[in-house]
Amino acid sequence: MSVFGLGILTLHILSYRNENYLMFLGFFCFVFFWWFFFGFFVGSNVLRMSSGIQIKTKSAAQKSKTRSPESQPKPSAKLNPKTIDPFHAYSQPSAFAAAYARGGIPCRLVHGSVKHKLQWECPPETVPFDLLLTLAEGLRETKHPYTFVSKEGFKELLLVEGAAEKAIPLLPRLVPILKAALAHADDEVFGRGLDALVQLSAVVGPSLNDHLKLLLTNLLKRLMDKKYREEVTVALQKLEHCGGKATVAIIKSKIPTYCSIYS
- State the pLDDT at residue 83: 38
CATH of the domain at 144: 1.25.40
pLDDT digits (tens, 9 = 90+) for 92-113: 678 888 889 888 899 988 887 6
Domain tally for the chain?
Answer: 2
SS3 content of the chain, % helix, strand, coil (to 5): 70, 5, 30
> Do 158 and 228 lie in a common domain?
yes
What is this structure's pTM? 0.65
Pick from 22-26, 73-77, 250-254 the range whose average pLDDT is largest.
250-254
Asked if the structure places residue 65 within a domain, the reply is no
Our CA angle for 196, 201, 206, nearest 5°, is: 160
Q: Which residue has the higher pLDDT, 24 or 120?
A: 120
Q: Which tens digits make up the pLDDT trace of 171-205?
A: 999 999 999 999 999 999 999 999 999 999 999 99
- Same structural domain for residues 171 and 227? yes
Whole-number pLDDT of residue 21: 53
Phi-psi region of 205 (alpha: psi -120 to 50; beta: other; left: phi over 0): left
- The better pLDDT of the pair 42, 147 is held by 147
**How distant, in Å, are the alpha carbons of 21, 158, 175 from that of 154?**
118, 6, 14
Does 100 reside within a domain?
yes
Residue 47 domain boundaries: 3-54
> How many residues does this entry show for the chain?
263
Is the pLDDT confidence value at 6 over 90? no
Alpha-carbon distance of 98 to 228, in angstroms, equals 32
Helix (H) or strand (E) run with residue 226 in it: helix 226-243
Residue 64 lies in a domain: no
Tell me the pLDDT band of 253, cut-offs 50, 70 and 90. very high
Q: Are 163 and 119 in contact (CB under 8 A)?
A: no
78 assigned to some structural domain: no
